[in-house]
Amino acid sequence: MDYNTELQSGETLQNVPQKNPQKIPVLWFVATLVLCAVFIFVSVPRASAQGEEQDSKKYTSIIQSVFDFIQKRYVEEVDPKVLYEGTMTGMFNALGDPYTAFLPESAMSDLNDTTQGNFGGVGLYISKPTGARPDGKPAYVEVASPIEDTPGARAGISPGDLIVEINDESTDALTMDEVLSRLRGAPGVDVRLLIRRGEKLVFPVTLTRAIIEVPTVKHAMIEKIGYLKLLTFTPMSVDRTREALEDFKNQGYTSFILDLRNNYGGLLHSAVGISDLFLEGGVVVSTKSRISSENAVFTARRGAVVPSNIPIVVLINRGSASASEIVAGALKDRGRAYLVGEKSYGKGSVQQVFPLEKAGFRITTARYYTPSDVNIDKIGIPPDREVLFPEFTNDEAEKLSALITDNKIPAFVEANPDASPARVDTFAKELNTEYMIDLTLLRRLIWNEQTRTAIAPVYDLEYDVQLQEAVNILQNGNFGQLMQTTKTLRELQNEATVEETALAS
C-alpha cells in the first residue's frame, strides 16, 4: 500500500511506502521511523548526518519508552489511540508552522473531500448554532443552500429549511461533525430527514446519497463583462472555468473579471491550469525546497483560451490565499491583469498530505515563487488599485453589536420575506434613526439576511464597492494606460528595500 501524497496547495508528487502495522503502539513507532527517514537529507556533511541519525534513534527510543510507561503505570487505563494522536499532534505543533499539522480521521476525510473535488452526500450547504439560540429555540441544522442538481435540490429542500431529524435522531444535540458524518457516506444509501419549513409545515424527506461535486465556480455576465467567481481550486476547477469562458465567448464578452476574494486556495495543478487559460506560455510559478530534486518550475502552454485583447481585472482581498495568490501573482507579474481590492493573505508555502491509516498529516515541503521570483509568504500581494470597505470605529462597532443583539434585521426579513426595495429602504431609515448606523451598511446587512435564506445571486453590484471599481475600470476605456503603470512583484519588493535602506540611513 502506498501513501497518496497531495499538496495542500498542490498536486501528487511522489509515493512513499506505507507499512501495515498490527498494533497501535507499533503503528506509532513505525510512523515515527518513517518521519525520521523523511528528514534525513543527503546534502548535509557525513558527520552531521550521522549525528542527526543518532539523535533520531535516541529520541525515538525515549518517546517509545514514555509511551509504554504511561500505558503500564498511569493511574487509569489509557486508550493507546489517545496517546498516539496526542504524540502526533504535539510533534507537528512543535514545528511552529500553522500549515503543518496532524490530521485526525475527521479532518483527513474533510480534506480528501476538497482535494478530490467530490464526495458521497446529499448536496446541502448547512449551518448549525454552536450553542443555544438567542430565541431559546432548539439548535437545529439550517439549510443555507442546496447544491444544484443534487438529491437535496431535486427533493425541493429550500434555503432556510430546518433539518429537525436525521434518521430519526434530533439534530439539536448533534455537533456539526456528527451531522456531517450522518449526511455524508457511501453513495446509494438512503438518508431520512425531517424538515421544518416556517412555523407549522413539517414533512419527511428521504434522500439517496450520490456523488456530490464540490462547487468551485459561479459565473454571470455584467453587460459585456464576463464575471467569474472562483470559490476554491479543486480537480474540477479548470474544466468548470473553461465552460464558463465558452459561455462568455458565446455571449460576446469584451472584458473579464476573475474574483478570487475569500478563496483560501486548493490544488497547485488547478492554480497552474487556471493561469494557463490566460497566459501564452512562460512561467506560472516555481517551487523551492530543501531537497533540490523537488524543486520545480510550472509553465503555461501556448494558446491561451482568453485572447490577449480581452482586458482582465482580478479581485483579491485578505481572504485570498495560497493557490489564489499563485494565480494573482502570475497574472500580475506577466502583465496580464490589473489587480483591484486589498492586499492578499500571504501564504507562499506548499504542503503535502500523507495518510496514516484513516488519519494523516499535512507538512510544509516547499515555498513557491511568482514569475518575477518573489515569495509572498507573510507579505501578501498588493493590488494595483486598493479599494477598501468602510472600517468601523469603536462607537460604530458598539452600535452594530447592539443592532445584532436586538435581532431586528432577521425578524424583519422573516416577517417580510418578499419586501420590496422601497420597504427595505424605509426599514433601513428606521434603523438609521434608532442606531445611527450608515444607511448603505444597513441596506447591505438587510440584503445579506435576505440572501441567507434564498439562493444568493452570483454578484452584488449595488453594495460591492470593489466589484463596482473593477467594472468602472473596464468600462472607462483606459485599461491599456493603467496596465502601463503596473509593476511586477520583484520591482515592488526592490523599491521597498530601497525605501527601507534610505530610512535606515
Task: Determine the length of the chain.
Answer: 505
pLDDT digits (tens, 9 = 90+) for 330-340: 999 999 999 99
pLDDT digits (tens, 9 = 90+) for 180-228: 889 998 899 999 999 998 777 888 999 999 998 888 999 999 999 999 9
Q: What is the pLDDT of residue 39?
A: 35
What are the structural domain ranges in the chain?
2-113, 119-213, 217-351+364-386, 394-466
- Burial grade of 122 (CB within 10 A; 0-12, 13-18, 19 or more): buried
Q: Does residue 372 have an active-site annotation? A: no
Let me know: does 314 contact 328? Beta carbons within 8 Å. Answer: yes
d(CA 267, CA 273): 10
d(CA 50, CA 441): 63
d(CA 320, CA 345): 6
204, amino acid identity: P
- Burial grade of 154 (CB within 10 A; 0-12, 13-18, 19 or more): middle
pLDDT digits (tens, 9 = 90+) for 351-386: 989 998 888 999 999 999 999 999 999 999 999 999
Query: How crowded is residue 175: how many other Cβ atoms within 10 Å of its Cβ?
Result: 11
- Mean pLDDT of all residues in 232-259: 96
Q: What is the pLDDT of residue 396?
A: 80
433, amino acid identity: T
d(CA 372, CA 357): 40
Residue whose entry in the numeric block shows the C-alpha cell 502552454: 301
Of 42-51, 91-100, 226-235, the least confident: 42-51
Catalytic residue among 9, 145, 275, 322: 322
pTM of the model: 0.77
Q: Which CATH superfamily is domain 119-213 in?
A: PDZ domain (2.30.42.10)
Residues above pLDDT 90, as percent of the chain: 56
Q: What is the pLDDT of residue 469?
A: 97
Catalytic residue among 229, 332, 347, 399: 347
Looking at the predicted structure, is the pLDDT value of residue 237 above 70?
Answer: yes
Q: Does residue 149 have an active-site annotation? A: no
Q: What is the pLDDT of residue 199?
A: 78
Q: Does residue 347 have an active-site annotation? A: yes
> Residue 352's beta-bridge partner residues?
7, 363
d(CA 403, CA 441): 12
Of 109-118, 373-382, 458-467, 488-497, the least confident: 109-118
Q: What is the pLDDT of residue 160?
A: 82
> Residue 256's beta-bridge partner residues?
226, 312
In our burial notation (b when 16+ CB lie closer than 10 A, e otherwise), range 182-193 reads bbbeeeeeebeb
Residue whose entry in the numeric block shows the C-alpha cell 428606521: 430
Q: What is the pLDDT of residue 43?
A: 41
Q: In this structure, what C-alpha cell is assigned to residue 72?
A: 503500564
d(CA 38, CA 502): 44
Model confidence at 445, in pLDDT bands (50, 70, 90)? confident
Query: Does the domain formed by 217-351+364-386 have CATH 3.40.50.2000?
Result: no
Intrachain domains 119-213 and 217-351+364-386 with the same fold = no
Catalytic residue among 276, 333, 384, 464: 333
Upper half-sphere CA count for residue 159 (Cβ side, 13 Å): 14
67, amino acid identity: F
Q: In this structure, what C-alpha cell is assigned to residue 288?
A: 523551492
Q: In this structure, what C-alpha cell is assigned to residue 203?
A: 414533512
